[in-house]
Chain A
Amino acid sequence: MGGKSFKDILWKIFRFVFLGFMALISVGPLVWIVMSSFKSNKEILSSAFALPTSLSFNGYKAALDLAPIFKFYGNSVVISFTSTLLNILIVSMAAYVLARYTFKGSTFITLLLSASLLVPTSALLMPIYKIMMGIGMFDTRSGLVLVYAALGLPTSLFVFKSYFQGIPKELEEAAYIDGAGFYRTFFVIVFPLAKSGLATGAILQFLTSWNEFMFGLVLTKSTEVRTLPLALNYFTSQFSFNYTAMFAALTMVILPSIVIYVLLQEQVTTSMVAGSVKG
């Protein structure tokens, strides 16, 4: 018995240290960034771990002077919201038809649309750039909205389709008997019923758009339309010697995501599980 409990204690210590180390490397860097954003350049260079001597907002002032961060914020919000709305509307309509009706080619369409999940999107970088140039959507917010809405297409399709399949048909049949048409039935009866399924897709789509970097980098060039993650690209060169400003900018970029995640975490977690486990 004695040996066993000794082993138990060792195991407990190991687990504590291991989980603690993982937690430290997960949030340690972020805490350090936020803390350093209130320090002066000199403090950052002389002592990395020390708490700031006084709460200085100079870094934030400098960051906002050097780069139009609020403009980037605005663009990120507008682009992420619009692409989420577009994705939900378009994909839920298609998912509804594919979930409810079988017709010639319906299986083929489902397969075709889900196959896009297999494509590493970086492979399509160059053609998408050319197409956006070709249809005059290069360096526009609408161009990014279209691309982002498409990036989430396969995941949303999967989530919505399985959700619609879980809604009993009887309600729709009753609506038809009452004389409601196809469109009315979908938008007035089915859409509200599928609220939580749609929310799941929406959260995933929003996070994808909010964090996307590569297409934003390639498909835009002016500060007028660029999004928040791209602001960072611009910071690393702009602030190369103004560390406080860079730390302040980083804080402004990461804080909203963290706050939103911590507030909505149950919902976000469920969405991520639903969106990944594709059977």
Chain B
Amino acid sequence: MKVKKWKLASFLLPCLLLFALIYLAPMCMVFGSSFFEWKAGGVFKFIGLDNYINAFRNDARMLTALKNTGIWVVLQSVVHVMLGTVIAFMLSKRKKGWKVLRTIYMIPNVVSAAALAVIFLNVFNAQYGIINSFVKTVTGKPFMKNWFFDQNSAFITVTWSWLLYTGMIIILVLAGVLSIPEDVVEAAKIDGATDMQINMKIRLPLIRTIIGTCEILAATSMLREFELIYLTTNGGPGDTTLNLPLYLYKTSMTDNNYGYANMMGVILIIAGVIVVSAINRLFKMNEADY
């Protein structure tokens, strides 16, 4: 069936326009202006690679933000995904209550992250939070640790707010495990394989691409993470919990240093491409096997 070209174009155009407005034009602006000194009040001057050189040579905050972002990407793609996978395998036995548990684990992922941030702010509150009240009840002594705002505990407390909440991973891995054909597992059982062997040698390799997808989701989510830091520690105390998106936000919205903020945008985009292609390669995402 022959359809006139302009009719096809009319269907593509709205989507392409939206893409151009929200992705393409901003991408060009981010890359282009990262080579300029661009500040509020009409400062706009080409400075070549100076923004990049300054970032890596003279900006301690930038290095902290990069380091924290890196640590969180690694923690999330190792601990978070592993934890979710283990829970999903436990639930895949379909013991009584597995569906209820799946729902429960997912709930922190469906409420808005902004709400979750304020909830954690209360849970870890020094005066009336659950954690401190619990310690107080157990030890009988007053306990006033200010989890989010104490130099020693801020990082780990912020990390807690996403590391253990693996609902999304559980749902994906569970869907994968449950879709493995029964006869594959049955054959191994007849050959005398233990449950553990079946999990490690048969089920896990069969859902390789799903684990890869989880890795991509987990790792890239840390390149986006904003509200759980912004609404709790706001990067503090000092810069203990500063990450790249938050530093970018502060540089552009508070300091009005646009060229420098966009340089960080470029680094975020490059980091995204590196992370995704590394995971693609590691998990051989483009090769199907069953």
Contact = CB atoms under 8 A, between A and B. Distances in A.
B15 interface: yes
A265 interface: yes
Contact of A122 (B122, B168, B226): B226
A19 B101 contact: yes
Interface of A: 15, 18-19, 22-23, 25-30, 32-33, 44-45, 47-49, 89-91, 93-94, 96-98, 101, 103, 109, 112-113, 116, 118-131, 146-147, 149-151, 153, 157, 172-173, 176, 182-183, 186, 207, 210-211, 213-214, 217-218, 228-230, 232-233, 235-236, 243, 246-247, 250, 253-254, 257-258, 261-262, 265, 268-269, 272-273, 276-279
B168 A123 contact: no
A231 to B, nearest CB: 9
Which 10 A-B pairs rank lowest in CB-CB distance, beginning with the nearest?
A48-B133, A94-B15, A150-B22, A127-B26, A123-B265, A211-B112, A122-B245, A229-B114, A127-B29, A123-B268
A23 B104 contact: yes
B171 A124 contact: no
A182 B118 contact: no
Interface stretch (B5-13, B50-58, B180-188): B5-13
B128 A48 contact: yes
Contacts of A247: 122
B115, B122, B226 interface centre (most CB from chain A within 10 Å): B115
A214 B113 CA distance: 10
B283 interface: no
Contacts of A22: 87, 105, 164
B114 A150 contact: no
Contact of A124 (B19, B26, B175): B26
A123 B12 contact: no
B71 interface: no
B213 A278 contact: yes
Contacts of A235: 118
Contacts of B15: 90-91, 93-94, 113, 153, 157
B44 interface: no
